[in-house]
Amino acid sequence: MVTQDLVRQTLRKVKDPELDLNIVDLGLVYDVEVADGQVSIKMTLTSPGCPAGPMITNDVYRQVRDLDGVSDVDVEIVWEPYWTPERIEPKIRAMMGF
């Protein structure tokens, strides 16, 4: 059975190539909803002009779609709240010197 926790664990495989950190620890994933095999993900990017945006969203789609029990994936890029380094997981932020 697909759960929000399983989806979030899977999203840890998706990395921002510029920062080499997964999108969950970076705080880019805002919301995950799962209903009857349909997964909806609201996420953001580090900036509106992020050149890696299409690659990241394709990786999100591919990783989640490969989970058993997932019939469809909707990835919505949102800009509110706007991403800032404060959204990075505190342990990771400390390791990065923020």
Of 67, 59, 49, residue with least CA distance to 16 = 59
d(CA 79, CA 63): 23
Q: Does 98 have pLDDT greater than 90?
A: no
pTM, whole model, 2 decimals? 0.93
CATH code of the domain made up of 4-83: 3.30.300.130
Cα 2 to Cα 29, 30, 32, 62: the distances in Å are 17, 18, 11, 15
For the chain, counts of helices (H) and of strands (E): 3, 5
Q: How far is CA 59 from the centre of its chain?
A: 9
Q: Where are the domains of the chain?
A: 4-83
Tens-digit pLDDT profile for residues 4-58: 999 999 999 999 998 899 999 999 999 999 999 999 999 999 999 999 999 999 9
